Amino acid sequence: MEPKPKRWSLVKPSTRAWLAEARKTPGFSFFDLLHGYVYGRWPYLYIGIGTGELRLARIIRPLIAVIARLLPAVHPQPEEEQLKFEDTYHGKVVPLEAAKQLVQVKRDISLPNLEPVIPYALARDIILHNPDHLIALECPCRAARPHPCLPLDVCLIVGEPFASFTIEHHPDKARWITPDEAVEILQAEDRRGHVHHAFFKDAMFGRFYAICNCCSCCCGAMQAQRGGTHMLAASGFRIQVEAGLCTGCGKCEKTCPFEAILVNGKAAVDETLCMGCGICVGQCVRGALSLNRDPARGEPLEIFKLMEEVISPACAPSGNTRG
C-alpha cells in the first residue's frame, strides 16, 4: 500500500507560500491571515458583497459590521486615533507613466511606511518579491456588475506570493503576462479613460499588491469614494488648463472619471474633486491640459524615484536613509 499523503501536502504550494509570508510579517494576526485568505481565495464574492451587487450582501453585511467593530482590538491604536475602513484597504491614484514603472521593477525591493505617499494609518508598504511575476485577472468589480465594462482581465496582480496564489486558485479567470504585456494593458485602459490605482490592503500583508484600472461605473472603490469613504488618495498632481489652447470641445468633461471638469466655453477644473489621474491629458487633442506637481495633494507614487531615495543616501558619507 502506498503511504497516505501528509495533510500538509494537500495544501496548494501557493497557499504554503502565503502562510510562510504571513509568519514573516510583523504583527500579522490570525484574523489578518484568515481575512487575507478569504479575500484572495474568493475575491468575486468579497467584492460582490462589498459593492452590494449580490443578494447575499443583505445577509452578510450585518456580520461584517460586527467584525468591523472588532478591528480596534486586532489593530490597537492610540486613543486619539480611530481606525477607519479606508485605513485598511485603499488605492493610490497613479498616472500612466507611474503605473508603468510599477510593472517594470526588475529586482526585489522594500520601501516600508510610505506615509507621505500613502496617507493612511495601515497598509502603506511597497515590498516586492519577484516583481516580474505578473497576472492579469478578471476585475472582480466589473464581473459583479450586470453589464460590465470590457475587457474584464485588466486587474494586474504584482509579485509574490500574490501572483502564484491568484493563478493557482483562479486559473479560469487569470493568466500570466510579461511586463511588456502589462504595459500594453495599462496603455489600452488609459485610452479607454480608465484610471490606474495602486491598491494596498492590511490583510495582504499590509502592502501594495495590485494595479486596478478602474472605470467610474463599475469600480467599488470609486463608488465608495463618491459615498464619502475616502479610500482613494490623490496622485500628487493636479490638472492645469491652458485657456489659449482650449476650444471647449467637452471631451475632457465626458472622460474625467472623477467628474472634476466642467466645460462652459472653456474647461475648468474643480480642484476639490480632481485626483490628478491625468486621463484627461491623453484625451485632449489640443494639448490644453497638463499634469502639474501639487505638494498639497501628497507625494507621488513614483517607484523608481523612491528606490533612488533609498540607495542614494546609503551611498553618501552622511545623511539619513528612508525606512
Name the DSSP letter for residue 241. Answer: E
**pTM, rounded to two decimals:** 0.87
Contact 209, 157 (CB under 8 A): yes
- Residue 262 within a domain: yes
Asked if 102 and 207 sit in the same domain, the reply is yes
For the segment 241-252, the average pLDDT, to the nearest whole number, is 94
Asked if 50 and 106 sit in the same domain, the reply is yes
User: What values do phi and psi take at 98, rounded to 5?
Assistant: -70, -35
Asked if 114 and 198 sit in the same domain, the reply is yes
Asked if 116 and 142 sit in the same domain, the reply is yes
Asked if 180 and 50 sit in the same domain, the reply is yes
Beta bridge partners of 240: 290
- Residue 61 within a domain: yes
Question: What is the total count of domains within the chain?
Answer: 2
Enumerate residues 6+ apart whose C-beta is below 8 A from 256.
Answer: 279, 280
Asked if 43 and 190 sit in the same domain, the reply is yes
- Banded model confidence at residue 79, pLDDT cuts 50, 70, 90: very low
Nearest to 234 by CA among 296, 301, 297, 305: 297
Quote the domain boundaries for residue 196.
21-234+301-315
pLDDT digits (tens, 9 = 90+) for 306-315: 999 877 654 4
- Residue 60 within a domain: yes
What's the chain's average pLDDT?
88
- Residue 320 within a domain: no
Name the DSSP letter for residue 291. Answer: E
Q: Out of 1-10, 205-214, 256-265, pick the least confident.
A: 1-10
Asked if 142 and 227 sit in the same domain, the reply is yes
* Spatial separation of the C-alpha atoms in residues 289 and 245, rounded to whole Å: 9
Which CATH number belongs to the domain containing residue 277 in this structure?
3.30.70.20
- Residue 14 within a domain: no
pLDDT of residue 191: 95
Asked if 157 and 60 sit in the same domain, the reply is yes
- Residue 3 within a domain: no
pLDDT of residue 61: 55
pLDDT digits (tens, 9 = 90+) for 17-76: 999 999 999 989 888 999 999 999 999 888 887 776 666 555 565 655 555 555 555 555
Asked if 47 and 193 sit in the same domain, the reply is yes
Asked if 48 and 150 sit in the same domain, the reply is yes
Asked if 194 and 241 sit in the same domain, the reply is no
- Residue 4 within a domain: no
- Residue 89 within a domain: yes
DSSP readout, 112-181? Answer: ---TTTS-SSS--BEEESSTT-EEEEE-HHHHHSSS--S-SEEEEEESTTHHHHHHHH-TTTEEEE-HHH
Asked if 120 and 225 sit in the same domain, the reply is yes
For the segment 229-257, the average pLDDT, to the nearest whole number, is 95
